[in-house]
Amino acid sequence: MSDTFAELHARILAKTARIGIIGLGYVGLPLARAFASRGYEVLGFDIDVQKIAKLNAGHSYIKQISDTTIAEMRAVGFTATDRFDRLGEVDAILICVPTPLTESREPDLRYVINSAHAVAGQLRPGQLVVLESTTYPTTTRNVVLPILQRSEMVPGEDFFLAFSPEREDPGNATHSVNTIPKVVGGLDDNSSEVACALYAAIVPNVVRVSSPEVAEASKILENTYRAINIALVNELKVLYDRMGIDVWEVIDAAKTKPFGFQAFYPGPGLGGHCIPIDPFYLTWVARQYGMSTRFIELAGEINTGMPTYVVAKVADALNETGKPLKGSRVAILGMAYKKDIDDPRESPGFELMELLLKKGATVTYNDPHIPNLPPTRHYAHLKMESQPLTAEYLQAQDCVLIATDHSAYDYGWILAEAKLVVDTRNATKNVSENRDRLVRA
């Protein structure tokens, strides 16, 4: 057993190991909280100086994490910094930076590569580096390792390297970093051992796998599985609608089967940082192996077609009331990609808004969690503020489109005040009054 391994292992168990987290976003910040709450000193690294200033002043910028939590983290030693030369101060470095797609829908690993270079510049014997960002299998070994190895230190002896995917479930209080099992795959036995010991301090169940590639591939499997199953129910929604069958009732019936079926639900399209993006990392790497990932392509095609389907349903519903979409006032309720969160990344709400505007509708929105639309790469021109949700506002609309089923909404009241409601989430399922104003899409 090497001295560096034994020392790091002992420090992790004694909770004297200092933890560095690169990327203080939706993944990195909850992770920092988890380690801080278990008594570890955490140093957070980010390139966004505004976020750093906010966090160091004791303020959160993520709805799920309160200012009180940040203040508690600060009280036990959490600090945020953009000084990457401080990476040498920590014993474990967890990389949680974005992994988006480029314009041509290929993996954009620049944030991971920049982080790896920052780590390589400070790497010292006895450090553990873990990549958490979702990516295609082989990234840890073929992209991160060569950058770290420039230091000429030996992996598994001088420093340790692993992949461990994040499994956040934003907006779901029953699942958190402290309850979700964590898959860990080290480059070698020592790396696996220290990485597993580290995560065992914050999660109830560490699942050790044989390599970083298995860990990377398992995360992409999880997200691809969701993307494909959501596409399946989205396709069935369109078919069953034509047949006059309620897809939501069908799913509720099917899910009473106690084995072999897991319920997925249709919607206005995919959203979020993960499900619409990650499967295409696999598609890209598959091409290097002479394969195409047909399920992923097909699911992508169906899911990205959903906003067009929803807008056609809005146009049909307005038509029934004698109005063309052009010139009609349409209010979108919910711009977050998922209920009860404040994250609009990749939200289908943007595409719905864009399509409705292109057809000449006057579009506004309300989202209690998103006061202003943030600038996005594809919809930078959509600058809008959330409108107050009042009876007058609802009454003034020709159509109210429920895009996200936030719990804060009173759906009975919305149906009572609006002339026409198009519901893409079955949010109105428990409302018995005024259903003649309702169209489901």
Ligand X SMILES: NC(=O)c1ccc[n+]([C@@H]2O[C@H](COP(=O)([O-])OP(=O)(O)OC[C@H]3O[C@@H](n4cnc5c(N)ncnc54)[C@H](O)[C@@H]3O)[C@@H](O)[C@H]2O)c1
Tell me which residues touch ligand X (CB under 6 A).
22-28, 45-48, 51, 96-99, 111, 114-115, 133-134, 166, 168, 170, 273-274
DSSP secondary structure of 362-403 = EEEEE-TT-SBPPP-SS-TT---BPPP--HHHHHT-SEEEE-
- Is the Cβ–Cβ distance between 150 and 135 less than 8 Å? no
**C-alpha span between 71 and 97 (Å, rounded):** 23
The answer to whether 164 and 182 have CB atoms below 8 angstroms apart is yes
Q: What angle do CA 309, 265, 172 make, to 5 degrees?
A: 125
Ranges of H-type helices in 15-143: 28-37, 49-56, 67-75, 110-122, 139
CB-nearest residue to ligand X: 25
Cα distances (Å, whole numbers) of residue 242 to 239, 245, 303, 422, 440: 5, 8, 18, 16, 12
Min separation Cβ 23 and ligand X, Å: 3
Catalytic residue selected from 96, 196, 274, 399: 274
Q: Is the Cβ of residue 92 or residue 420 nearer to ligand X in the bound state?
A: 92
Rg (the chain; Cα; Å) = 24
Cβ-based nearer residue to ligand X, 18 or 54: 54
| Virtual torsion, Cα 109, 295, 276, 210, nearest 10 deg | -50
What minimum distance in Å lies between the beta carbon of 46 and ligand X?
Answer: 4
Distance in angstroms (rounded) separating the CA atoms of residues 99 and 268: 24
Bin 48: left if φ > 0, else alpha if -120 < ψ < 50, else beta: beta
In the bound complex, what is the minimum distance in angstroms from residue 24's beta carbon to ligand X? 5
83 versus 287: smaller Cβ distance to ligand X: 83
Q: In this complex, which beta carbon is closest to ligand X, that of residue 134 or of residue 192? A: 134
DSSP 153: P
Strand locations in 397-437 (E)? 399-402, 421-423
Give dist(CA 402, CA 335) in Å, integer.
9
C-beta of 81 vs 190, nearer to ligand X: 81
CA–CA separation, 441 and 426 (whole Å): 9
Instruction: Look up tokens 């409108």; give the residue.
Output: 387
Nearest approach, Cβ of 226 to ligand X (angstroms)?
Answer: 11
181 versus 324: smaller Cβ distance to ligand X:
181
**Shortest gap between Cβ of 123 and ligand X (angstroms)?**
15
Report the nearest approach of ligand X to the CB of residue 393 (Å): 31
Instruction: Specify whether 274 is catalytic.
Output: yes
Nearest Cα to Cα of residue 184 among 207, 213, 218: 207
Alpha helices in 165-290 (DSSP H): 189-200, 212-243, 247-254, 278-288
- The residue among 47 and 232 lying less far from ligand X, judged by its C-beta, is 47
Residue 108 beta carbon to ligand X: minimum distance, rounded to whole angstroms: 10
User: Catalytic residue positions?
Assistant: 274
